[in-house]
Amino acid sequence: KAGVTQTPRYLIKTRGQQVTLSCSPISGHRSVSWYQQTPGQGLQFLFEYFSETQRNKGNFPGRFSGRQFSNSRSEMNVSTLELGDSALYLCASWPGGLGTSNEQFFGPGTRLTVL
Amino acid sequence: AQKITQTQPGMFVQEKEAVTLDCTYDTSDPSYGLFWYKQPSSGEMIFLIYQGSYDQQNATEGRYSLNFQKARKSANLVISASQLGDSAMYFCAMREGNTGGFKTIFGAGTRLFVKA
C-alpha cells in the first residue's frame, strides 16, 4: 500500500506570490490534515478535511486555505506569501471515522522557502 | 486548553541501552489518542506508536512501548535496545475531537542522540 505523497517536495517563491501544495492520502483514508513546521513555532495544526469538508481549522490567517476532492486528495493554498510562511508543510492521513484505525501517517512534506 | 509537554529538549543514550522520553498532556476531553513520531534529519514524520485513552493495555510496537499513566496524564515512550539509527527528533502528539472535527497537537520534541 502506497504511503502519503506530497508534491512538490521543494518550492521557492517570492513575497506576494501564491502557492498550492498537494497531498494524496493513503488509499481508503478519508481524513487529511495539514501542519506547518517551523523552528520557532514547532508543529502547528492548519486544518483537517474529511469527505471534502473542512472539519477543523487552526489559528492561521485567511491567506491559508485548502480543499479536498472526492478521491480524498487535498490541496493547500497560501496567498500573498510572507517571509514567515517559509516552513515545512506536512500533511497526514488516517481513516477518519469512529471505529476505524487510529494510526495517522505523514507524507514527506513540502519545504517552502519565501524570498 | 489542550497541551502537550515534552520537558527534555535533548537526551543521550548509549547504544543497546533503553531510554525513556517523557510526555505529559492536558485535556478535558475523555476521548483522545496519543501518538509518538520520529523525525530524522530528512524531515519525514515516522509513526511509531498509538495509545487510545480507553485502552487498558500499554501499546507496544517492536522496540517501542508507551507507558500510559492516565491519572497522571503522562504517555512516556520507552525505546529498548537503542540503535544508532534511533538518533532523531521525537514528538509526542495528542488527537482529540469527534466526528465534528479532529485536531492533533504536538509537543516541542526531544532530540535523542545515540552514542556508539
Q: Does B108 sit within 8 Å of A102, measured CB to CB?
A: no
Confidence of residue B2 (pLDDT cuts 50, 70, 90): low
**How much is the pLDDT for B1?**
59
What are the b/e assignments for B11-28, b being 16+ CB within 10 Å? eebeeeeebebbbbbebe
Q: Does B95 touch chain A (CB under 8 A)?
A: yes
Amino acid letter for position B99: T
Shortest Cα–Cα distance, A43 to chain B (Å): 6
Compare all CA atoms of chain A with the CA of B31 and give the residue at the minimum distance. Answer: A98
**How much is the pLDDT for B7?**
94
pLDDT averaged over every residue in chain A: 93
Q: Does B43 touch chain A (CB under 8 A)?
A: yes
Of A45, A107, A111, the CB nearest to B103: A45
**How much is the pLDDT for A96?**
77
% of chain B with per-residue pLDDT over 90: 83
pLDDT averaged over every residue in chain B: 93
- Mean pLDDT, range B23-48, rounded to an integer: 93
**Would you say residue A1 has pLDDT above 70?**
no
Q: Does B12 touch chain A (CB under 8 A)?
A: no
CA dist B100 and B97 (Å) reads: 7
Confidence of residue A98 (pLDDT cuts 50, 70, 90): low
Smallest Cα–Cα separation from B90: which of B68, B74, B106, B69?
Answer: B106
- Mean pLDDT, range B25-33, rounded to an integer: 91
**How much is the pLDDT for B113?**
97
CA dist B114 and B16 (Å) reads: 9
Q: Are A93 and B47 in contact (CB under 8 A)?
A: no
Sign of CA dihedral A72, A78, A84, A86: positive
Shortest Cα–Cα distance, A9 to chain B (Å): 11
**Would you say residue A97 has pLDDT above 80?**
no
**How much is the pLDDT for A104?**
87
- Mean pLDDT, range A21-25, rounded to an integer: 97
Q: Does A42 sit within 8 Å of B106, measured CB to CB?
A: yes
Q: What is the pLDDT of residues B67-108, one digit of tens each?
A: 999 999 999 999 999 999 999 999 999 998 877 788 889 999
**How much is the pLDDT for B98?**
77
**How much is the pLDDT for A86?**
97
Shortest Cα–Cα distance, A59 to chain B (Å): 12
| E-assigned strand segments in B1-116 | 3-5, 10-14, 19-21, 24-26, 32-39, 46-52, 60-61, 64-69, 74-79, 88-98, 101-106, 110-115
Smallest Cα–Cα separation from B102: which of A58, A108, A38, A90?
Answer: A58
Q: Are B32 and B93 in contact (CB under 8 A)?
A: no
Q: Does B100 touch chain A (CB under 8 A)?
A: yes
Contact list in B for residue A4 (CB cut-off 8 A) is none
- Mean pLDDT, range A101-110, rounded to an integer: 89
Shortest Cα–Cα distance, A44 to chain B (Å): 7
